[in-house]
């Protein structure tokens, strides 16, 4: 065995006594029972990506979990340091591959604050429309794959049917279905095309009924209820000390949502509620996310109806590309275009942290500028990465089947964890 | 966010609350206050990081939203560890920063509970990432291993002087060769 393979297997689990005494969970406490260390993943359909878990089992009861990550580490933060600011957006989007608009929003928001560029109101509303559609899309993928983990096969096809409509909408506005590069520093790349609003209205009309149907299929299903209700709860204080935010924290009854608490991109203009749970078990986590889809639909409706007229990207030519038609007539525009495409824009030195509410919790982007046209440091505080720490706290003392359900309700995206 | 005056008040409070414990190189735990784009940053003496964070926690900044590393190459002290604190009741953020030299940077871990005060369990994975990417050793961390890079990786890739590319891609056929290991 090579040194590398030997070290890979040398993860220290909790001491033997500690594992046995931990979490009595209604079991007879037979300390003579044998402990079994099971390697779970990294390639396993229930881990939602390339996540490896070292699980210590006593019979069917989970005594200890060590997550091992890094299998899809792509060094995006390092790559970003070698690109000019506007070329960072496409790589940043590929971190958490289900919430690409959020990644772009966090990065653009940080750079906009550093450059002190004003984003036009119309651009802010267009951003909100796409962010909330992305949230619905992300929750649909979560719902479909989680139901699959619980054995409900057909949910997957229903969820992906609606997801498809959202991806079609993304394709209309940006030409891409995923990793759209729609958000730019200072606004969005293009206005929404003709026909987009009608298609979106149709979708918004249809969606609440669809969520009703999902709820009817799952929340009245005895198997789903038994798998979710009362399993692996964690209280809000423990979650907060572990840094957990988003639907997991709201499921435990804490209504913390950055869209309400610290609004960005005109979220203060919209009327929406924050669904919260009561005990913070797997069922609450499920119910909170499902209820969030309705609220997102309401936000998109309001943003579409109230969409203000005006520019969709800042008029500041030092930051945003000039319109195509100006290039033929204006020397200035040509120079700005050339400068932006070759060198990019320079950002005043400084560093700041820009947090937003992603479908999984607080997504923060830390950007340090040294005054050049390339960032000196880009760091994403990815909610999946932080929330994963709560997993062993949730699942210790539970059955291995509950571990699968809890992992599904945790909704980790490995692209975001490993970056 | 505290405004510039509010930030100075917090810094004053921290200076007053903190005597000069042994081993500290200066009398004040606050080396500098920075106010930039509406956000306040306290640059803190590395030895006093736990005390400062504990004090801020009592003041309401009880949620650590992020911990990350930063490299100021070529300026010295080069490495930085940034703690983003949040007061959820007042919706107020403050940034605490520690600066460390690049040779053998060691810093007290804020993860475990100690007799002096409660820890910040959320820092566990994030301190491991800073250790992995920047080589900052967190004294007292319960399980300081690399987290994203392979365990036997050499170097700390997020440092600014670490080159991009230039290492072999490992496939099955060249695994042993690339690992430099005959076993």
Size of interface A-B (CB pairs under 8 A): 117
Among A243, A364, A365, A412, pick the best mutation site for testing chain B contact (most B Cβ within 10 A): A243
Residue A309 tokens read as 């007229």
Is residue A256 less than 8 Å (CB to CB) from chain B?
yes
Nearest to B96 by CA among B58, B59, B67, B136: B67
Lowest mean pLDDT among A49-53, A94-98, A278-282: A49-53
pLDDT at A20: 54
CATH architecture observed for domain A76-314+346-377: Orthogonal Bundle (1.10)
Q: For residues B145-156, give the mean pLDDT.
A: 85
Beta partners for B94? B85
pLDDT at B173: 84
Q: Chain B residue with minimal CA distance to A365?
A: B66
CB B76 within 8 A of CB B99: no
Measured in angstroms, the CA of B66 and the nearest CA of chain A are apart by 6
pLDDT at B39: 86
Measured in angstroms, the CA of A371 and the nearest CA of chain B are apart by 12
pLDDT of residue A397 exceeding 60 = yes
Residue B77 tokens read as 């002290």
Percent of chain B at pLDDT > 90 equals: 21
pLDDT at A16: 57
> How far, in Å, are A81, A186, A376 from residue A370 at the CA level?
11, 20, 6
pLDDT of residue A22 exceeding 50 = no
Nearest to A245 by CA among A260, A255, A230, A231: A255
pLDDT at A24: 43
Q: Is A375 helix (H, G, I), strand (E, B) or coil?
A: strand
Q: For residues A382-389, give the mean pLDDT.
A: 92
CB A31 within 8 A of CB A22: no
Q: A1-72+382-419: which CATH topology?
A: Enolase-like; domain 1 (3.30.390)
Fold equal for A1-72+382-419 and A76-314+346-377: no
pLDDT at B97: 92
A132's CB contacts (< 8 A; 6+ apart) are A296, A297, A299, A300, A303
pLDDT at B10: 79
CB A53 within 8 A of CB A40: yes
CB A364 within 8 A of CB A381: yes
Q: Chain B residue with minimal CA distance to A416?
A: B148
Name which of B95, B125, B157 is nearest A75 (Cβ-Cβ). B157
Is residue A241 less than 8 Å (CB to CB) from chain B?
yes
> Which tens digit of pLDDT belongs to each residue from A279-307?
889 999 999 999 999 999 999 999 999 99
Q: For residues B68-81, give the mean pLDDT.
A: 89
pLDDT of residue A164 exceeding 90 = yes
pLDDT at A2: 59
Is residue B109 less than 8 Å (CB to CB) from chain A?
no
What CA–CA distance (Å, rounded) separates B112 from B125? 12
Measured in angstroms, the CA of B122 and the nearest CA of chain A are apart by 4
pLDDT at A43: 77
pLDDT at A194: 92
What CA–CA distance (Å, rounded) separates B71 from A375? 12
What CA–CA distance (Å, rounded) separates B183 from A368? 43
Residue A79 tokens read as 């790559």
B71–A381 C-beta distance less than 8 A: no
Nearest to B68 by CA among B132, B141, B155, B10: B132
Q: Average pLDDT of chain B?
A: 83
ipTM exceeding 0.90, yes/no: no
pLDDT of residue A25 exceeding 70 = no
Nearest to A182 by CA among A110, A98, A126, A114: A126
> Which tens digit of pLDDT belongs to each residue from A173-200?
998 898 988 999 999 999 999 999 999 9
Q: How confident is the model at residue A165 (pLDDT cuts 50, 70, 90)?
A: very high
> Which tens digit of pLDDT belongs to each residue from A4-18?
555 555 565 555 555
Residue A130 tokens read as 């796409």
Q: Chain B residue with minimal CA distance to A237?
A: B63
Q: Average pLDDT of chain A?
A: 87
pLDDT at A132: 94
Q: Where are the domains of chain A?
A: 1-72+382-419, 76-314+346-377
Biggest CA–CA distance in chain B, Å, is 63
Measured in angstroms, the CA of B8 and the nearest CA of chain A are apart by 19
Residues 189-208, chain A, touching B (beta carbon < 8 A):
none
Q: For residues A214-222, give the mean pLDDT.
A: 88
pLDDT at B137: 92
pLDDT at B15: 75
pLDDT at B18: 64
pLDDT at A27: 47
């Amino acid at each position: 065995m090579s040194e590398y393979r030997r070290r890979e297997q040398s993860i220290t689990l909790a001491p033997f006594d500690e594992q046995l005494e931990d979490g009595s969970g209604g079991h007879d406490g037979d300390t003579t029972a044998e402990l079994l260390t099971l390697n779970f993943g990294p390639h396993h359909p229930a881990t939602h990506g390339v996540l490896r878990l070292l699980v210590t089992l006593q019979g069917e009861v989970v005594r200890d979990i060590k997550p091992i990550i890094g299998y899809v580490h792509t060094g995006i933060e390092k790559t970003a340091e070698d690109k000019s600011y506007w070329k960072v957006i496409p790589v940043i989007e590929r971190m958490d591959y289900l919430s690409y608009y959020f990644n772009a929003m966090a990065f653009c928001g940080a750079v906009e604050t550093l450059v002190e560029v004003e984003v036009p109101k119309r651009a802010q509303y267009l951003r909100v429309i796409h962010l909330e559609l992305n949230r619905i899309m992300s929750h649909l993928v979560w719902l479909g794959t989680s139901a699959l983990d619980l054995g409900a096969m057909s949910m997957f096809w229903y969820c992906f049917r609606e997801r498809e409509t959202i991806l079609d909408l993304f394709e209309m506005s940006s030409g891409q279905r995923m990793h759209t590069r729609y958000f730019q520093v200072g606004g969005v790349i293009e206005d929404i095309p003709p026909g987009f609003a009608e298609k979106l209205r149709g979708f918004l009309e249809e969606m609440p009924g669809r969520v009703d149907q999902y709820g009817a299929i799952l929340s009245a299903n005895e198997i789903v209820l038994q798998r979710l209700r009362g399993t692996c709860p964690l209280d809000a204080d423990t979650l907060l000390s572990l840094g957990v935010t988003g639907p997991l924290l709201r499921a435990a009854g804490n209504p913390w949502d950055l869209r309400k608490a610290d609004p960005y991109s005109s979220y203060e203009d919209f009327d929406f509620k924050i669904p919260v749970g009561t005990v913070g078990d797997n069922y609450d986590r499920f119910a909170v996310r499902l209820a969030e889809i309705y609220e997102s639909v309401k936000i998109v409706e309001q943003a579409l109806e109230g969409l203000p007229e005006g520019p969709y990207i800042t008029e500041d030519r030092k930051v945003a590309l000039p319109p195509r038609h100006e290039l033929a007539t204006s020397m200035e525009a040509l120079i700005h275009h050339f400068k932006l495409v070759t060198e990019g824009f320079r950002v005043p030195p400084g560093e700041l942290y820009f947090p937003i509410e992603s479908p999984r919790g607080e997504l923060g982007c830390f950007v340090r500028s040294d005054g050049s046209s390339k960032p000196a440091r880009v760091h994403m505080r990815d909610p999946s990465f932080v929330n994963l720490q709560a997993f062993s706290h949730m699942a210790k003392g539970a059955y291995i089947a509950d571990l699968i359900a809890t992992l599904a309700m945790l909704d980790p995206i490995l692209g975001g964890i490993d970056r | 966010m505290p405004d510039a005056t509010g930030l100075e008040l917090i810094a004053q409070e921290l200076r007053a609350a903190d005597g000069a414990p042994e081993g500290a190189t200066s009398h004040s735990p606050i080396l500098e206050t920075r106010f930039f784009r509406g956000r306040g940053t306290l640059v803190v003496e590395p030895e006093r990081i736990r005390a400062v964070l504990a004090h801020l926690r009592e003041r309401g900044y009880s949620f650590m939203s992020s911990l990350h590393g930063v490299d100021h190459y070529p300026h010295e002290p080069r490495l930085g560890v940034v703690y983003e604190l949040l007061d959820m009741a007042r919706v107020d953020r403050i940034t605490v920063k520690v600066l460390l030299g690049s040779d053998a940077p060691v810093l007290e871990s804020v993860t475990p509970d100690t007799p002096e005060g409660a820890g910040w369990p959320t820092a566990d994975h994030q301190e491991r990432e800073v250790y992995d990417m920047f080589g900052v050793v967190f004294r007292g961390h319960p399980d300081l291993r690399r987290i994203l890079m392979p365990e036997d990786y050499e170097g700390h890739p997020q440092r600014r002087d670490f080159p991009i590319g230039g290492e072999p891609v490992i496939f099955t056929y060249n695994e042993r060769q690339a690992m430099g290991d005959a076993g």
